[in-house]
Amino acid sequence: MSPPCVVVTTAMLLLLLTAAAARDTCSGVTPAPPQRGARVSLASVGGRGDGRTLNTAAFARAVAQIERGGGGGTQLYVPPGVWLTGPFNLTSHMTLFLARGAVIRAHQDTASWPLVDPLPSYGRGRELPGGRYMSFINGNGLQDVVITGDNGTIDGQGSVWWDMWRKRTLPFTRPNLLELMSSTDVTISNLVFQDSPLWNIHPVYCSNVVVANVTILAPHDSPLTDGIDPDSSSNVCIEDCYISTGDDMISIKSGWDQYGIAFGRPSSGITVQRITGSSPFGRPSSGIWWRRKRPSQALEFVQHGGWDQHQDQLRKGRIHPKHHYL
């Protein structure tokens, strides 16, 4: 009689493990991505994915059309091709969808790149006094934003910015690849982010954010190209990502120095799980570890490698403990 009992027990165990695995996600911090009632193709508003035509105006026309649409929102569909563009804004109730084989590529004309004000929790540009260059894909005060696709690519073409940083010829702080500010219900998934000028994904003053199943790539000698940097944000889920960049894989921030203290908005409720990749001062398989300490504390993160190895010259490598409590 024992063999049947063993079979039943094994089947039950497999069922329980499968159910546990299905529940092992933090993505419930945002509503399920909605089915949009309408779709606009970038090609239908005059865009050309030939890798040469500048599509900044086409992106602006498409986003303006979505803003006028109302209802359940609209998907902006980016077909296969290389869509060269300057920086552009998103809007609420919008899905930016990159088809397989679609590449949104930043142009490298730094002289025409627009400037924006510094973040209030930073007080100045992160690298230099004054303003900062606008992030490549940008949103402010938005709700219900989905940035996803079938493994399409967002390419920052950051080499020109990295060279300016190395030569100390930057007039202002470099742009991030994607920055959403003061926004809620944000999902970023199933895309490749590559060669960001500075940080890759930067939700700042945001709540209810999911970043899942993304690949983030930059050379290990690319300066300060952090992977995912939730900043003064709450209810953030980061899971199932591969990150290999020139700096931190994930860096949880709450502004910068005295400016962040004065602004007074901490990051909280952040879950990070199943992250792999590499950084210049992390191990090849993972650059961040975490463990739960007590119910009253969130997570403990441990950075492996010496702080004096960090590329950020402003840090001087002497003020950072090894443990960060959210």
- DSSP 8-state secondary structure symbol assigned to residue 239: E
Q: Are strands 137-140 and 178-181 parallel, antiparallel or unpaired?
A: parallel
CATH pick for 42-325 out of 1.10.10.10, 2.160.20.10, 3.40.50.300, 3.40.50.800: 2.160.20.10
208: phi then psi, degrees, rounded to nearest 5: 60, 75
CA atoms within 13 A on the CB side of 320: 20
Task: Answer positive or negative: Cα dihedral of 105, 108, 113, 119.
Answer: positive
One-letter amino acid at 220 equals H
Please report which helix (H) or strand (E) contains residue 148, including its range. Answer: strand 143-149
The Cβ of residue 168 has, within 10 Å, a number of other Cβ atoms equal to: 7
- Known catalytic membership, residue 150: no
Q: Which residues contact 324 (CB under 8 A, 6 or more apart)?
A: 252, 300, 301, 303
Q: What is the pLDDT of residue 115?
A: 97
Interatomic CA distance for residues 178 and 134, integer angstroms: 10
Interatomic CA distance for residues 139 and 157, integer angstroms: 20
Q: Are 136 and 90 in contact (CB under 8 A)?
A: no
Measured CA angle at 66 (ends 157, 147), to 5 deg? 45
Q: What is the pLDDT of residue 282?
A: 55
Q: What is the pLDDT of residue 241?
A: 96
Please report which helix (H) or strand (E) contains residue 22, including its range. Answer: helix 2-23
Distance of CA 316 to the CA centre of its chain: 26
Measured CA angle at 34 (ends 194, 227), to 5 deg? 20
The DSSP-derived string for 240-283 is EEEEE-SS-SB--B-SSHHHHHHHT---EEEEEEEEEEE-TTS-
Q: What is the pLDDT of residue 300?
A: 34
Q: What is the pLDDT of residue 170?
A: 97
Among the listed residues 304, 311, 247, the one whose alpha carbon sits nearest the alpha carbon of residue 279:
247
Interatomic CA distance for residues 62 and 76, integer angstroms: 7
Options 247, 248, 257, 312, the catalytic residue: 247
Interatomic CA distance for residues 50 and 2, integer angstroms: 67
Interatomic CA distance for residues 5 and 12, integer angstroms: 11
Q: Are 33 and 187 in contact (CB under 8 A)?
A: yes
Per-residue pLDDT of the chain (326 residues; tens, 9 = 90+): 444 444 444 444 444 444 445 558 999 888 887 889 899 999 999 999 999 999 999 999 999 999 998 767 999 999 999 999 999 999 999 999 999 999 999 999 999 999 999 999 999 999 999 999 999 999 999 999 999 999 999 999 999 999 999 999 999 999 999 999 999 999 999 999 999 999 999 999 999 999 999 999 999 999 999 999 999 999 999 999 999 999 999 999 999 889 999 999 999 999 999 999 988 875 433 344 333 333 333 343 333 333 344 444 333 332 222 233 22
Interatomic CA distance for residues 210 and 235, integer angstroms: 9
